[in-house]
Amino acid sequence: MEDYSTLSGEETAAKLHSNTQHGLSSFEANNRLKKFGPNTLIFNNGKGPFTIFTSQLTSFLVIILLIASAFSFFFGDYLDAVLILIIIFINAFLGFFQEYRAEKTIEHLKKLVISYCLVYRDKQVIQVFSSELVPGDLVLLEEGQKVPADIRLLSTTNLYTNEAALTGESMPITKTVDVLKKILPIADQINMLFSGTIISAGKGLGLVVTTGGKTEIGKIANLVNQEAKTSTNLQLKLDHLGKVLGKVIIGIAALIALEEILVGKPIIQAVTSAIALAVAAIPEGLPAVVTISLAIGTRRLFKQNALLRRLTAAETLGSTDIICVDKTGTLTEGKMTVKQIYYNHTFHHLNIETNDTKLPKETRQLLKISVLANNAQKNDNGIVGDPTEVALISLAFDQGVEQLELSKQCPRVLEIPFSSERKMMSVVCQDEKEKLIAAKGSVEAILNQCTQIEKNGKVVALTKEDKANILKANNQMASNALRVLAFAYAKTNKQEVHEEEIEKGLIFVGLEGLFDPPRKNIKQSIESCQKLAGIKVVMITGDHLMTARAIASEIGINDRYITGEDLDKLSDGQLEEIIEEISIYARVNPEHKLRIVKALKSHGHQVAMTGDGINDAPALKAANIGISMGITGTDVAKEAADLVLMDDNFNTIVGAIKEGRAIYENIRKFVNYLVSTNLMEVTVILGSIILNWPLPLLPIHLLWINLVTDGLPAVALSADPPRKNIMHSPPSRFTEDILNKNSLKRLLLAGFLLSGAVLIIFSFYKNQLVHGQTMVFTAIVLYCVVRITVLRSRYQLSLFSNKLLSLAISISLILQLIILYLPIKIGNITLQELFKIQPLSISDWLVLLITGGILLITMRLITTKPLEKTTPTA
């Protein structure tokens, strides 16, 4: 692609077959729009409603249920067939609703460059959608506007842009029309504007050179598209669990059907038994309960200022063991404050919390220069402009130096804007009878232009010793995480001042060290992550190494460090060898961030990556959990992220991880609960078949148990609060299988204890079949409550710590009593006739309750082992 920054305006227009005075005609613009396409970015990760809905019906367990429903319908069991389908579609609609709502919420983020802009067409200025811009268009630009395309500037008026979203540079960039002598990096192309950046001040006129996917932002969007998002651990684990359960269920059901056929029973009876077993074994509510659990967790996260864009990403939060976090605005407050002043070889410290420090009168000249060499403006709404310049004016105002008063006394007549080559800016102001030159910039740049220094209000020659002291002060301030600016001035009686003379022979005044303070309690949060939760915190920033190290040390990140320049010297293999030793990355670019995330993932780490800029998007997409800033985050970053922080606060990430852990433990709890209770039902049916007893449960009983008695409490388990010591567990606990070996052993033991008790009860009542089936039906309803109580005790949770669970259990028991005793009719039949049950006597209830009490005590003694506290290290 042509590098237009090295071409003049006329040469650029010639290349684009355009005109620097009146741009394109409407006819030519329409032809180019057909050729180049709309000026929009395309993300390829959206899913339509039909795709979202059908994806809810593709799990292995749902397919088995669909087959079971078809068999029931074929053999005339229409009620069972319809009930199974109702359950399937309730689950499907729940999942569809949650995922579709999430898709719609982020739909607007894809319209990244849709806006209005002013453009010359047919020699007139008209307003068009930025999506209709084409290469060659002549565009007018003004303060506050988002740049709609990549543009070669033709003219500027005090034009500044904020390119932090694209380059990571937080300082405003002064734009000119000068032709560059050679191809430079994007951050140094001062005669170009780039799509997605913001015009922070001034006006400009330029030619559109690239649009859509060919712009610099478009290239990064393409990287986002190329970085495929893999399934989360939760999705993989649930899929694996479903397939294992499904295969076991199919195998057992087929063996039962074959066994009954071989012993001479009718095929219809054999198939009915097999279907009853399959329906009993399959946790129909599992997909819906998982979705509801994640939705509840999502609402909890939102209350903590964290917006989850993908439900299944909640589980990934819990298993995160490394957080790669950008410094500015996340670990820090994102606002600059002057913390230290160096004047007359003396440091003056400011209390940034109370702001009550009064500076000596001799520093007034320094404050005056900092206000004059400044483009921020104070108005009725406060001070607006670049955060650094706002901080300078704020300090001066607090010390009695008024910007408005100064601007009247010393009106500006000329400005030499800041540039990355010069690293300073200067202004010329008319001060009474003489002109005052005020300059600010990097310490080295200012010192190079100074020949004198102000000491105690007097101007004397600047000596080598003075320079050494100033440089030493600069290093001392930078090592304390301060961004240091130097200030100088000069006076002249010349009527005309030439730009090449302005910045020569300046008088050094002093230094100001600006600080972006760490967020409140950030050190404690990081310490909690690293020492208790086993989560390593890694700082990745575009800041200079000295600043990054100083901030890292202050907030408790102390480990090996590396710069982007050093990273460039390492191969991917070499980076992977040292990646786990590094906690501080400074002066990095988008490619570095992406390499870091991939290298960490190569070691099996679950990596969370925070970011706000367009340049962060590929790394956010590549991370296991991408976290975008909600306040400062760009649209591209939010599109790539799984989680959006509404307050841009690291402490919110810690809260989100805690909630993610709680979500995962709740999922493990209800999966354990559903599988163990379904195992009880299967074992009861299987045991009766092996013992040649009649079926103790009918399909309608099983569906009622699975939907009402299992389903309601399982959903309520999703609202369980986090256990008190959940952040003391290592991340590895939240990467284990949903049913690991130990939990499977406890599950099997609990299931066999429960089914054994039920079979013993049925053995006494099987000769009175309806009575016996009612006893078994009610026993299982009661013993599901026993199971959930025992299961939660392992997490040190009482029954009353979850009001929703107490309500769900109460509803399940009340509904069971209703179908047992109330003569409610559905059509011409009562509930008892529909369910083929009969009321139980007091003696029946005594048998069930005594047996349940024995089960509760036995399981608490045998299967319950409280989760121990752990103190992992990062």
The tokens for 68 are 């079971």
How far, in Å, CA of 418 to CA of 785, rounded?
Answer: 72
Mutual angle of helices 842-862 and 741-765, in 10-degree steps: 160
Please report, as a single letter, which amino acid is at residue 407.
Answer: S
Question: Is 698 in contact with 685 (CB distance < 8 Å)?
Answer: no
Q: 782: Cβ–Cβ under 8 A, 6 or more apart, which residues?
A: 813, 848, 849, 852
For residue 277, the 8-state DSSP code is: H
Q: How many helices (H) and strands (E) does the chain have?
A: 32, 28
- Encoded amino acid at 726, one letter: I
SS (H, E, C) 617-681: HHHHHHCCEEEEECCCCCHHHHHHCCEEECCCCHHHHHHHHHHHHHHHHHHHHHHHHHHHHHHHH
Radius of gyration of the chain from its Cα atoms, rounded to whole angstroms:
35
Give the containing element (helix H, strand E) for 253: helix 233-262
- Between strands 424-431 and 458-461, the pairing is unpaired
Q: Is 326 annotated as catalytic?
A: yes
Q: Which residues neighbour 94 within 8 Å (Cβ) at sequence distance 6 or greater?
A: 288, 291, 292
User: What does the angle CA 108 – CA 113 – CA 119 come to, to the nearest 5 degrees?
Assistant: 140
Distance CA 171, CA 158 (A): 15
Among 613, 609, 632, 634, which Cα is nearest to 622's?
609
Residues linked to residue 439 through DSSP beta bridges, in sequence order: 426, 488
CA distances from 211 to 101, 420, 615 (A): 31, 26, 18
Q: 153 with 159: CB under 8 angstroms?
A: yes
The 10 Å CB-count burial string (b at 16+, else e) for 255-271 is: ebbeebeeeeeeeeebb
Query: Tokens 């749902």 — which residue?
Result: 62
Contact call for residues 285 and 714 (beta carbons, < 8 A): yes
d(CA 175, CA 157): 9
590 burial (CB, 10 Å; 0-12 / 13-18 / 19+) is: buried
Residues paired with 429 in a beta bridge:
412, 436
Burial 369-402, CB ≥16 within 10 A → b, else e:
bbbbbbbbbbeeeebebbbbbbbbbbbbbbbebe
Coil, strand or helix at 776: helix
Query: Which one, of 691, 700, 698, 845, lies nearest residue 775 by Cα?
Result: 845
SS (H, E, C) 527-543: HHHHHHCCCEEEEECCC
Secondary structure letter of residue 387 according to DSSP:
H
Which entry of 137, 150, 326, 710 is annotated as an active-site residue?
Answer: 326
- CB distance 135 to 16 below 8 Å: yes
Residue for token pair 């400011």: 350
Tokens, residue 234: 């939760």
At 205, is the secondary structure helix, strand, or coil? strand
Q: Which residues contact 15 (CB under 8 A, 6 or more apart)?
A: 2, 4, 7
Q: Which residues of 828-855 are buried (b: 16+ CB within 10 A; e: fewer)?
A: eeebbeebebeebeeebeebbeebbeeb
Q: Which letter, b or e, does each residue of 419-432 get, where b requires 16 or more Cβ atoms within 10 Å of its Cβ?
A: beebebbbbbbebe
- Active-site annotation, residues: 326
